[in-house]
Amino acid sequence: MPRWGMAADLDRCTGCGACVTACHAENNISTVGPYQAMRGRAKHWIRVERYWEGEFPDVRLKFRPVMCMQCGNAPCEPVCPTYASQHTADGLNAQVYNRCIGTRYCANACPYTVRFFDFFNPEWDKPLHLQLNPDVSLREVGVMEKCTFCVQRIKAATIQAKADDVELKDGDIKPACVQSCPAQALVFGDLDDPDSAVSRLSESPRGSKLLEDLGTQPAVTYLSRQTLA
């Protein structure tokens, strides 16, 4: 059984936001419009954070793509009264939409603020609905949603490999954000496979994990941006 993880090389990431739109396209994330967005209800399973340092003219800006960290010890899981937020054998924090009763405890518990509540039923002005991905369920009002590492892609590739009677190779599975990244800053794979690209990157001396001291055991490793000596 693999243990899925990701590495984000901040020395490659350009902050372009391709991952954000790719995620919307893949995962049927509805847009909420300006009024609801103003009220903090826009949903972006992956976002690009920015950190300004210094004052003009000695200014630096650092980008950091942030998605669900798929924690090994996830604060969102024990607080869920219905086991909608639960851990899978391959290391994902699954969100079972039809168990979710919308207590939003998980979003309160998550230190990364990567969980998004559906305050209303999603809407697509027709015929925008023709684009919807049949592999991803739509979330209705009162449900919490979040990054799944594109579990539908993981499943599809796993099933296909089984049907073809071949071994899954490192790199066969790419979540939509990883696939789209122009600078190849994001790498996905099996952390239990010592030869996978993500395993090697996760052991880089440049690596660190977000809010790791909380004991969350994130499955996402950030490789720090370097500076010119």
Partner 1 sequence: MDRRSFIKLTAVSGTTAALASCGNPENQLVRFVPDEDIVPGQATWKPGVCPLCAAGCGLTVRVMDADKDVVRDGQAGVVKIYAAKKLEGSTDHPVNHGGLCTRGQASIQVTYHPDRITQPLKRSGTRGEAKYEPISWDDAVAELVGRLDALAGAGNQRALALLGQARTGHRGLVVQQFLQHFGAPAPVRWEFFGDDLLRRANALSFGKAQLPTFDLANARFVLSFGADFLGTWNSPVSQSHGYGAMRQGRAGIRGAFVQVEARMSQTGANADQWVPVRPGTDGVLALGLAHLLMAAKVVTPASAARAGALIDGWSDGLPAYSPDAVEKLTGVAAAKVERLARQMADMRPGVAMIGGPALAHTNGLFSALAVNALNGLMGSVDQPGGVSFTPQFDVAAAARATGTAPGAGASLEQWAAGTLAGGSGATQVLLIDGANPVFAAPRAWRVREALEKVPYIVSFGSFLDETSALADLILPDHSFLETWAENVPESGSGVAVATVAPPAMAPLHQTRATVDVLLDAGRRLQKPLNLPWESLEALLGATFAVLPPAAEGGDAWSEAQEKGGWWGALPAALVAAAGAPAASGMTPVAFVEPQFDGDAAQYPLHLLPYASTTFYDGSAAHLPWLQEMPDPLTSAMWSSWVEVNPTTAATLGIRDGDLLEVTSAHGTLQSAAVLTPGIAPDIVAMPMGQGHTQFTRYATGRGENPASLLAPLTEATTGALAWAATRVKVARVGDPDGRLVLFAGGSHEEGRHGPGEEHR
145 near partner 1, rule: CB under 8 A: no
**Could you give the CA distance from residue 116 to residue 201 in angstroms, rounded to a whole number?**
29
Q: Which is nearer to partner 1, 26 or 190 (CB)?
A: 26
- Of the residues 1, 134, 195, 213, which one makes contact with partner 1 according to CB under 8 A: 134
Cβ neighbour number for residue 62 with a 10 Å cutoff:
14
User: Side chain identity at 49, as an amino acid letter?
Assistant: E
- Of the residues 70, 152, 180, 196, which one makes contact with partner 1 according to CB under 8 A: 180
Full 3-state SS string of the chain? CCCEEEEEECCCCCCCCHHHHHHHHHHCCCCCHHHHHHCCCCCCCCEEEEEEECCCCCCEEEEEEECCCCCCCCCCCCCCCCCCEEECCCCCEEECCCCCCCCCHHHHHCCCCCCEECCCCCCCCCCHHHHCCCCCCCCCCCCEECCCCCHHHHHHHHHHHHHHCCCCCCCCCCCHHHHHCCCCCEEEEECCCCCCHHHHHHCCCCEECCCHHHCCCCCEEEECCCCCC
Q: Which is nearer to partner 1, 88 or 120 (CB)?
A: 120
- Of the residues 6, 8, 32, 198, which one makes contact with partner 1 according to CB under 8 A: 32
By CB under 8 A, the residues from 38 to 97 that bind partner 1 are 38-42, 44, 47-50, 52, 54-57, 59-63
117 near partner 1, rule: CB under 8 A: yes
Q: Tell the smallest beta-carbon distance from residue 124 to partner 1 (Å).
A: 9
Q: Which is nearer to partner 1, 22 or 84 (CB)?
A: 22
Q: Which stretch, 17-25, 69-77, 84-92, 207-215, contacts partner 1 (CB under 8 A)?
A: 17-25
Q: What binding mask, one character per residue, do residues 197-226 give for partner 1 by CB under 8 A, x or -?
A: --------------------------x--x
Would you give the end-to-end CA distance of the chain in angstroms?
42
- Of the residues 1, 89, 130, 163, which one makes contact with partner 1 according to CB under 8 A: 130
Q: Which is nearer to partner 1, 13 or 91 (CB)?
A: 13
Binding residues for partner 1 (CB under 8 A):
9, 11-12, 14-18, 20-22, 24-26, 31-34, 37-42, 44, 47-50, 52, 54-57, 59-63, 104, 107, 113, 115-117, 125-134, 176, 179-185, 223, 226-228
